[in-house]
Amino acid sequence: MITYEPVVFRCGQGGATGLVDADPVTTEIVRQGLNAAADQMKRALVRTAFSPVIYEVLDFAAALYDADVCLLAQAPSLPTFMGTMSFCVRAAVDAVGGTAALDDGDIILYNVPYGTGSHPQDVAMVMPVFVDREIVGYAAIKAHWLDIGGKDPYSTDTVDVFQEGTIFPGVKLYRRGERVDDLFRIAIANSRVPGAVAGDISATVVGVRAGAAALTRIVRRHGIGEFRSCVARIYDHGEATVRSFFAALPDGRYVGHGEMDSNGVDDDRVPFDVAVTVDGSTVRIDYADAPAQQRGPINCPQPSTVSASRVAIAMLAGGGEAPNEGFFRAVEVVTRPGTLFHPLHPAPCFLYGWAGDQAMEAIYQAVSHAMIGAVPACSGGDICALVWWGEREATGEVWTDGSPHPVGQGGHARGDGASALIHISEASTRIAPAEVWEARNPWIIERLELAQDSCGAGRHRGGLGLDVVFRLREDAWLTSALERTRNAPWGLEGGLAARPNGVELDLGDGPGSPFGKATRLLVPRNATLTLRTGGGGGYGDPAQRNVAAVHADVRNGYLSEAAARASYPHAFRDGAS
């Protein structure tokens, strides 16, 4: 077996010079204009998409890049995609012959997992933006197609990339504004739901064109020279924001621990460590000691490993601002090719993001060793994805739908964790309303509620997970991609662990059968599927929790009295109120 040397990836291009002299007012106008342009891309896509996974769940990323493929602006949607988009742009452009091979109106289709960082269903479209025959940037969207001809619409047990879907290795879907119909027909032919995919392709084209037009207007309004000066100042500010956070942490090497339930093919747990080294205002995130790439599809390609690192840092140190390229200049990511966090072809990657989610929690655990109060306790730690499909009984039409589901967030130094939010890797995504689910799909939502007692106890308790019960009105197939069913969300500073994730199928003939990852599981008519998403870990000693807060949790139904008495006995002693 070949052993590779570690690879160091510096997340942000360039670096602050301190010499940028752009007018601050004009710079802010450009910054807000770029953010608005990215939001126009998002709105154009959402308003024209055919699939609820795009227009309801927001399972996509939309962004603008400059001519050097540095992030100008992104629309709030799927953060874990966002950190991969620069890889998508570079790989797509290189695949068609580089910038010299690009023409105004071209749109490139690209979904190679080791370049996008995703499974093949997450397809990138990249459009160069020309002003006066010069490339000034790129508009890019990566969005999830409901089906792209893999062995199943969604899988947890693939053993190589060839089982995972049709690959488009960087090809022009549009040439000089004209669609390449043969390529479009190939894409549609390799889908179980061709109508939905055709509509989503057209919607994505609308989105990148909207972004390209908006970027063109900004550049023309200010002129290319002033535009570039303002962008340089924007990047410098983003860099300073992130560096100020890490400059306050003690220098040193801190290690966080993560674990996967299994690789999807073998049942053994897959533990790993992530080392975070703080050196002044620079942070290095090191995955070089990760286990070898796995037989099952939990392998996380380098772009998604970099993205998980970027998301963790931006959420932690970004000051709540919309990120740009400057945010990443302080970050270095170390991976070793041939491992879980840098797999090589043809390693399966379908569950690429699940290891990335655990890596984010491990990064925060590592930072918790550097400074008390800097990070929250562990969240539910997963997106709790379920993907359904089947044929409608009345029409024979193939249908499919899927969604992440909310988990509890960890308690922190300033308060309780939030309840029922999507994991930070997919912040800004959402679940569809129950009414939309029931109208489109053959099921009834019997229960959708905050899960009592699912949170970790602490001075500040964790947030609650959800209990969701689906009752099927027709036979359907299900792929469950649940992770962290064996590894409870950890607490911090004496806080206790929370409920882990779980899912259970009840066929009506006895106790339900719990499971985690499963592919093409038959859920027959009248069966119920119960999803239990994890809570957030607690923060601080439970004995220090405010007595009134404990009783309020009981009144509100967040805690049963029995659980409250067990975790907070001080709140029930004589004289406590």
Residue pLDDT, tens place only, 520-531? 999 999 999 999
The C-alpha angle 145, 185, 109, rounded to 5 degrees, equals 50
Query: Phi, psi at residue 295, to the nearest 5°?
Result: -70, -30
Q: How far lies 5's CA from each of 114, 136, 468, 478, 571, in Å? A: 18, 36, 46, 40, 56
Band (pLDDT 50/70/90 cuts) for residue 337 is very high
* Distance separating alpha carbons of residues 300 and 461, to the nearest angstrom: 32
DSSP 321: P
Residue 66 or 13, more confident: 66
pTM for this prediction: 0.94
* Distance separating alpha carbons of residues 134 and 113, to the nearest angstrom: 30
Helix axis angle, 24-48 relative to 224-247, nearest 10°?
A: 90
pLDDT for residue 15: 60
pLDDT in tens, 163-212: 999 999 999 999 999 999 999 999 999 999 999 999 999 999 999 999 99
Q: How far apart are the first and last CA of the chain?
A: 65
* Distance separating alpha carbons of residues 12 and 65, to the nearest angstrom: 12
Task: Find, among 387, 354, 304, 353, the residue nearest to 53 by Cα.
Answer: 387
pLDDT in tens, 112-128: 999 999 999 999 999 99
* Distance separating alpha carbons of residues 13 and 71, to the nearest angstrom: 9
Band (pLDDT 50/70/90 cuts) for residue 56 is confident
**Average pLDDT of span 7-30:** 79
pLDDT in tens, 206-234: 999 999 999 999 999 999 999 999 999 99
Contact 200, 57 (CB under 8 A): no
**Average pLDDT of span 536-545:** 98
Task: Find, among 346, 386, 356, 352, the residue nearest to 519 by Cα.
Answer: 386
472: left (phi over 0), alpha (psi -120 to 50) or beta: beta
- Predicted confidence (pLDDT) at residue 16 exceeds the cutoff of 60: no
Band (pLDDT 50/70/90 cuts) for residue 319 is confident
pLDDT for residue 577: 62
Report the greatest alpha carbon distance in the chain.
80
* Distance separating alpha carbons of residues 388 and 520, to the nearest angstrom: 9
* Distance separating alpha carbons of residues 384 and 330, to the nearest angstrom: 31
Task: Please state the domain extents for the chain.
Answer: 19-240, 376-577
**Percent over 70 (pLDDT), the chain:** 98
* Distance separating alpha carbons of residues 77 and 39, to the nearest angstrom: 10
Contact 336, 372 (CB under 8 A): no
ω into residue 346 within 30 of 0, thus cis? Answer: yes
pLDDT mean across residues, the chain: 94
Task: Find, among 184, 198, 196, 166, the residue nearest to 107 by Cα.
Answer: 184
- Residue 142 pairs with which residues in a beta bridge? 61, 124
* Distance separating alpha carbons of residues 262 and 516, to the nearest angstrom: 9
* Distance separating alpha carbons of residues 398 and 44, to the nearest angstrom: 27
Contact 361, 378 (CB under 8 A): yes
Q: Where are the alpha helices (DSSP H) in 9-49?
A: 24-48
Lowest mean pLDDT among 13-27, 319-333, 410-424: 13-27
Task: Find, among 65, 73, 78, 86, the residue nearest to 11 by Cα.
Answer: 86
Band (pLDDT 50/70/90 cuts) for residue 79 is confident
pLDDT for residue 315: 83
* Distance separating alpha carbons of residues 301 and 291, to the nearest angstrom: 14
Q: Calculate the dihedral angle through the C-alpha atoms of 472, 476, 477, 479, rounding to the nearest 10 degrees.
A: -30
* Distance separating alpha carbons of residues 369 and 251, to the nearest angstrom: 11
Work out the burial of residue 45: count CB atoms within 10 Å of its CB; fewer than 13 is exposed, 13-18 middle, 19 or more buried.
buried
pLDDT for residue 20: 66
Contact 254, 302 (CB under 8 A): no
Contact 537, 491 (CB under 8 A): yes
pLDDT for residue 17: 54
**Average pLDDT of span 325-332:** 92
Using only the alpha carbons of the chain, give its radius of gyration.
24
pLDDT in tens, 473-501: 999 999 999 999 999 999 999 999 999 99
Lowest mean pLDDT among 6-20, 23-37, 62-76: 6-20
Contact 75, 44 (CB under 8 A): no
pLDDT in tens, 246-282: 898 999 999 999 999 999 999 999 999 999 999 999 9
Lowest mean pLDDT among 67-71, 181-185, 431-435: 431-435
pLDDT for residue 18: 56
Query: Phi, psi at residue 551, to the nearest 5°?
Result: -65, -35
pLDDT in tens, 359-388: 999 999 999 999 999 999 999 999 999 999
- Predicted confidence (pLDDT) at residue 10 exceeds the cutoff of 80: yes
- Predicted confidence (pLDDT) at residue 19 exceeds the cutoff of 60: no
**Average pLDDT of span 402-419:** 96
pLDDT for residue 556: 97
* Distance separating alpha carbons of residues 136 and 118, to the nearest angstrom: 27
337: CB partners within 8 A, 6+ apart: 4, 7, 344
Which range of 11-15, 88-92, 505-509 scores highest in mean pLDDT? It is 88-92
pLDDT for residue 80: 80
How many other CB atoms are found less than 10 A from the CB of residue 1? 4
